[in-house]
Structure 1
Amino acid sequence: MSVVGRMAAAALAALIWGFPALAEDVTLTSRDKSIELTGTLLTFDGEFYRVDTEYGILTVDASGVTCDGPGCPSLGPYVAELTISGARNMGAVLFPALVEGFALRQGYALKREELRGIGTLYTLLEGNNGQELARVTIKQSTSSEGFADLLSQEADMVLSMRQASTRERSMARDAGLGDLRIARQSRVIALDALVPIVSPGNPVSRLSISQLAAIYAGKIKNWKELGGEDAPITPYMMDIEEGFSPVFMQDVISAQGVSLSDKVLFHPTSSALADAIARDPFGIAITTFTERGNGEVVELSGGCGFSVHASRASIKSEDYPLTMPMYLYLPERRLPLIGRELLDYLRTESAQFVTRRARFVDQALTGQPLRAQGDRFANAVTAAGSEIALEDLKGMVSALTGKERLSISFRFEGGSTRLDAPSRSNVALLAEALENGRFDGKRLSFIGFSDGQGDAAQNLTLSRKRAMRVKDLVMGELEAFNADRVTLLVEGFGEAMPMACDDSAWGRGVNRRVEIWLD
């Protein structure tokens, strides 16, 4: 059965039969005997019962009721069960490192067991007496399989290298799992990026997105067409359903309106791709920034001559066009306490340190001074024309002098004022930093930029509106914040500092952004 078919069957099964592991009847009675609920026990997390009743699925505080029936949990010590399923790229290294970091921070003892053909099982134990507290299973498969497991109630969290599809969101909503688009149910836990790599010594060091797509579509077949040697190009990529391949197919192949050539050679892992390039002087592979091996990374450019180099800084700020957020998706239900604590931990500086140690790009907020951003200002001068005068550029430089840019950006879905998925996650990150006093006594400027399409004056106005929109969203996320502690400002510079060429959809999307500057 296909993954989509499995998802549909699983969602239907969940609606008809409930959760197989705990599909037994219970009766919950309030302490004063005035209320009685009967239904099928779905989950119990040590604090709350989740029961499918004639009134729908209800969550009931265990401290206020007694439980009777074959489905009632034992009265022994509660052991939380968490299953995290999805992309092998995340489940093999990143999430295990985060679970181990969480256990260390909380003072839990940890036992690790490799499950052949499945992934990793962690058992968390109380450090003092060795009592078992939780079992965390990390299933390594694909993003699609992770969503299928969520729909079939076989997973509590999904690790995904891509956003949930429209079909997956719809099926999750129909199965009572909530809206996977909202920030409460999806977050970015780390960043990576797609990069083209070639053999060291290959003279081709820069490609446009359209040229890259043409190589993988079989339209460009010889390096001579790109300024290289007279030799045939051998394109490599990861198996089509694995890891980051669906992202490449969507953001490069489909976005450029081409189809994948049957000459592309596939490998099952990133390390296998790096090995292939090491052996093949005329090969090119699409892999990830964190697993590029000894291959030479090719810069991406546009028709206007701007190029963006993949670096930790450009990936963290999502200025690099093929930045790849690594998502964690959650159903709309209460997790066990230890699961909620794990989610809180993922936002901490400790978790960001662990992410860096695992060689992924973290989300810790860092600053970059104006003097370290020469390429951006060179692009601004290059792009200046009749609508953006030298005086406009001088005004922008004057306004930014003495400030540093934070490593966080906000971008918008195409043709919309709605933030894209990574930016919705960034709202929570910035709000948390404000509430924690990270910027007390500072001035924080929300500065908007636009693409170069249309009238420059209108773009200037639009960039300010976008900056105000982001500021309002961040303020709306704050719960215990004293506005006197930080000065929040809004500014817009329109199309004055492009990051990429406007001759492609991805270039325009990169240019439409809100940056955060600090002084």
Structure 2
Amino acid sequence: MNAFRAALCAALFLVCGPGCGPVPAAAQDVTLYSRDGTIEIGGTLLGYDGEFYRVETIYGEITVDGSGVLCEGVGCPNLDTFVAEVGISGSATMGRVLMPALLEAFAAREGYDIRREQVEESYVLYSLSDRRSGEDVARFHFHVTNTDEGFADLLADEADIVMSLREIRRDEARLASEAGLGDLESANRSRVVALDAMVPIVSPTNPVHEITVLQLAQVLAGRIDNWEKLGGPDAPITVRLRDSASGLAQAVEDRVLAPARLPLRVDVERHPDNLSLAEAVAGDLLSLGVASYSDIGNARALTIGGACDFSLRAERRTIKTEDYPLTAPMFLYLPARRLPKLAREFLRFTRSDPAQIVIRRAGFVDQAPEEIPLDMQGDRLANAVTVAGAGSPEAELYRLVRTLRPMARLSISYRFESGATRLDAQSRSNVQQLAREIEAGTYDNRTLVFVGFSDGQGPHEANQAIAERRAAAVMEAVRTAAETADFSRLEMSSDAFGEAMPMACDDTSWGRQTNRRVEVWLR
């Protein structure tokens, strides 16, 4: 039986694997014949994407190249009137503004007309049609709710793509794997389409202007419950967040509270969307909220500071480089399932230069690589001088400036999961992004230097060694991912400066994790 199945695969260009999904209710029996009539496959049609049939057979689930077979049976699709159907579910922040803007730009670029239909409050249908014939070629079904619902729809086979403002959680990844959707924690199963940030906000009349991440965690947990402890009036703090199923609110718990090992206070005021959250905070002197960078309304953002005089504001460049400590990647999660050709073309478009312009116009931070000269990084250098202690020799700061002065920093950073050597989800996406740029020849005749940094715990020699190993590991990951690159056209090397340029205070586990990073510099 195995030999026969192998023969079928060779003859019909079959691709078998997990992630094809459960059998839909409308599935019907079909028979696929090779064009010379020598081989036939019977089974239940699971789907057709315009190029490939997906069939449940006695040999298991297989995918067959439609160009090599003829289909017979009541379940066979009409090849002349095929319309690609794509389900996208999840974050309202992404689904109401960002993704529709990208889809409209894609349609315009490819010469399609696009229609929008508000089917239900949380369900929007976008139909793409051929301008000459007027016939639909694709329908994108947007279920615009929250990140939790997005992953639930994926598991229920009601979505093909999840929009998420947080990383997938372990239980969600486990359930997806059990459902045959592949390893959604792997690098090729998610991508960062844009960047947002979690920004602590207050009323414009509030006298407080700065907060540390630890203080923010303590406020969210109720350990700090009076503005006087933050330098404000003697009055209680009202905490406002998005609804509990929102990816932004969950990212706050994962990225701010969890590292401090603190629970969220029970009396948090919840809001269904970013606008109502920002309006409520702006109108209440005693409120503190955590909002999306793209939508703080009339509220005022607090600067993130530190006990070591570290200070950074949420700005486009600091978010793009991930120097701002609460950067929030906007993820698309893709199961191990073949999407229709037009959907794959749309996903490729989201990484293009025109798409980055759309992202910026929509109010989010794009992923287009930028080169930042050393003289435009005053805040970073000031923090380095201010924060550096006895453990970071002055000679190392001198070497850093002397080495990096003739170079420019690339707006891509790499950080690691807490307590692990594995890159975090955004950094894994960044590996693929930089690899694509190298393959495209963007950095031909240039030198890429991967520069490692560490936290300030322990002796300088040990920190330097760890930073060197991390820089070399990231460089090798990018080299491996750039499979079609001609490395004779550019140079790649690694260097490290230990704890010489911290981005946060080392007095918290979160701060130490932030400082453990690899940057890319260009010459």
CA distance in 2, matches of 1:248, 1:468: 31
> Cα gap change, 1:100/1:201 in structure 2, threshold over 3 Å: closer, same or farther?
same
1:400 to 399, 404, 407: 404
Letter in 1 for 2:489: R
Give the structure 2 partner of residue 4 of structure 1: none
Please state whether the residue corresponding to 1:291 is helix, strand or coil: coil
Give the structure 1 partner of residue 132 of structure 2: 128
Please state whether the residue corresponding to 2:260 is helix, strand or coil: coil
Give the structure 2 partner of residue 348 of structure 1: 352
Please state whether the residue corresponding to 1:344 is helix, strand or coil: helix
Letter in 1 for 2:101: A
1:51 lines up with 2:51 in the alignment: no
1:198 lines up with 2:202 in the alignment: yes
Please state whether the residue corresponding to 2:149 is helix, strand or coil: helix
> Cα gap change, 1:347/1:16 in structure 2, threshold over 3 Å: closer, same or farther?
closer
Letter in 2 for 1:168: E
Letter in 2 for 1:304: C
What runs of 5+ residues in structure 1 fail to find an aligned partner? 1-13
Following superposition, the deviation at residue 21 of structure 1 comes to 4.8
Give the structure 1 partner of residue 453 of structure 2: 449
1:500 to 496, 499, 504: 504
1:264 to 259, 263, 268: 268
Most deviating of 196-205 and 210-219? 210-219
CA distance in 2, matches of 1:161, 1:408: 19
The question of whether the paired residues in 2 share the 8 Å contact of 1:48 and 1:61 is answered with yes
Identity fraction in percent? 49
Please state whether the residue corresponding to 1:494 is helix, strand or coil: coil
2:219 to 212, 215, 228: 215
1:24-43 superposed Cα distances (whole Å, 9 cap, x missing partner): 11121222333222221111
Give the structure 2 partner of residue 91 of structure 1: 95
CA distance in 2, matches of 1:295, 1:38: 62
The question of whether the paired residues in 2 share the 8 Å contact of 1:17 and 1:23 is answered with no
Please state whether the residue corresponding to 2:63 is helix, strand or coil: strand
The question of whether the paired residues in 2 share the 8 Å contact of 1:22 and 1:41 is answered with no
1:137 lines up with 2:148 in the alignment: no
Give the structure 2 partner of residue 460 of structure 1: 464
Give the structure 1 partner of residue 82 of structure 2: 78
Following superposition, the deviation at residue 434 of structure 1 comes to 1.3
Give the structure 1 partner of residue 439 of structure 2: 435
CA distance in 1, matches of 2:409, 2:130: 43
CA distance in 2, matches of 1:15, 1:405: 39
Give the structure 2 partner of residue 286 of structure 1: 290
The question of whether the paired residues in 2 share the 8 Å contact of 1:22 and 1:43 is answered with no
CA distance in 1, matches of 2:186, 2:37: 39
CA distance in 1, matches of 2:338, 2:91: 23
Following superposition, the deviation at residue 16 of structure 1 comes to 13
Letter in 2 for 1:312: R
Please state whether the residue corresponding to 1:333 is helix, strand or coil: coil
CA distance in 2, matches of 1:409, 1:439: 17
CA distance in 1, matches of 2:231, 2:205: 13
What is the alpha-carbon root mean square deviation over aligned residues?
Answer: 1.8
Following superposition, the deviation at residue 278 of structure 1 comes to 2.3
Following superposition, the deviation at residue 483 of structure 1 comes to 1.5
1:162 lines up with 2:166 in the alignment: yes
2:390 to 383, 386, 393: 386
CA distance in 2, matches of 1:452, 1:53: 59
Letter in 1 for 2:446: K
CA distance in 1, matches of 2:59, 2:441: 44
Most deviating of 118-127 and 80-89? 118-127
CA distance in 2, matches of 1:193, 1:515: 20
Following superposition, the deviation at residue 248 of structure 1 comes to 1.1
The question of whether the paired residues in 1 share the 8 Å contact of 2:309 and 2:386 is answered with no
The question of whether the paired residues in 2 share the 8 Å contact of 1:118 and 1:139 is answered with yes
What runs of 5+ residues in structure 2 fail to find an aligned partner? 1-17
1:77-132 superposed Cα distances (whole Å, 9 cap, x missing partner): 21111110111111011100010111111111111112222332111111222221
The question of whether the paired residues in 2 share the 8 Å contact of 1:199 and 1:281 is answered with yes
CA distance in 2, matches of 1:15, 1:489: 38
1:302 lines up with 2:306 in the alignment: yes
> Cα gap change, 1:24/1:365 in structure 2, threshold over 3 Å: closer, same or farther?
same
2:192 to 185, 188, 200: 188
The question of whether the paired residues in 1 share the 8 Å contact of 2:33 and 2:40 is answered with yes
Letter in 2 for 1:181: E
1:69 lines up with 2:73 in the alignment: yes
> Cα gap change, 1:228/1:113 in structure 2, threshold over 3 Å: closer, same or farther?
same
Letter in 2 for 1:339: A
CA distance in 1, matches of 2:56, 2:376: 58
Give the structure 2 partner of residue 5 of structure 1: none
CA distance in 2, matches of 1:31, 1:219: 72
Give the structure 2 partner of residue 247 of structure 1: 251
The question of whether the paired residues in 1 share the 8 Å contact of 2:20 and 2:181 is answered with no
CA distance in 2, matches of 1:444, 1:85: 38
1:415 lines up with 2:419 in the alignment: yes
Following superposition, the deviation at residue 436 of structure 1 comes to 1.6
CA distance in 2, matches of 1:403, 1:387: 26
CA distance in 2, matches of 1:65, 1:89: 43
Please state whether the residue corresponding to 1:203 is helix, strand or coil: coil
The question of whether the paired residues in 1 share the 8 Å contact of 2:387 and 2:505 is answered with no
CA distance in 2, matches of 1:517, 1:148: 40
Letter in 1 for 2:118: E
The question of whether the paired residues in 2 share the 8 Å contact of 1:321 and 1:506 is answered with no
The question of whether the paired residues in 1 share the 8 Å contact of 2:20 and 2:61 is answered with no
Give the structure 1 partner of residue 493 of structure 2: 489
Give the structure 2 partner of residue 228 of structure 1: 232
1:109 to 106, 113, 126: 113
Following superposition, the deviation at residue 227 of structure 1 comes to 1.1
- The alignment covers a number of residue pairs equal to 506
CA distance in 1, matches of 2:430, 2:131: 34
Letter in 2 for 1:348: S
Following superposition, the deviation at residue 216 of structure 1 comes to 2.2
Following superposition, the deviation at residue 414 of structure 1 comes to 2.0
CA distance in 2, matches of 1:285, 1:339: 37
2:481 to 462, 477, 481: 477
1:206-226 superposed Cα distances (whole Å, 9 cap, x missing partner): 111221122222222221111
CA distance in 2, matches of 1:411, 1:17: 33
Following superposition, the deviation at residue 17 of structure 1 comes to 9.8
> Cα gap change, 1:16/1:131 in structure 2, threshold over 3 Å: closer, same or farther?
closer
CA distance in 2, matches of 1:15, 1:472: 29
Letter in 1 for 2:178: D
The question of whether the paired residues in 1 share the 8 Å contact of 2:217 and 2:260 is answered with yes
The question of whether the paired residues in 2 share the 8 Å contact of 1:198 and 1:284 is answered with yes
CA distance in 2, matches of 1:386, 1:359: 42
> Cα gap change, 1:326/1:15 in structure 2, threshold over 3 Å: closer, same or farther?
closer
Following superposition, the deviation at residue 15 of structure 1 comes to 11
2:364 to 334, 357, 360: 360
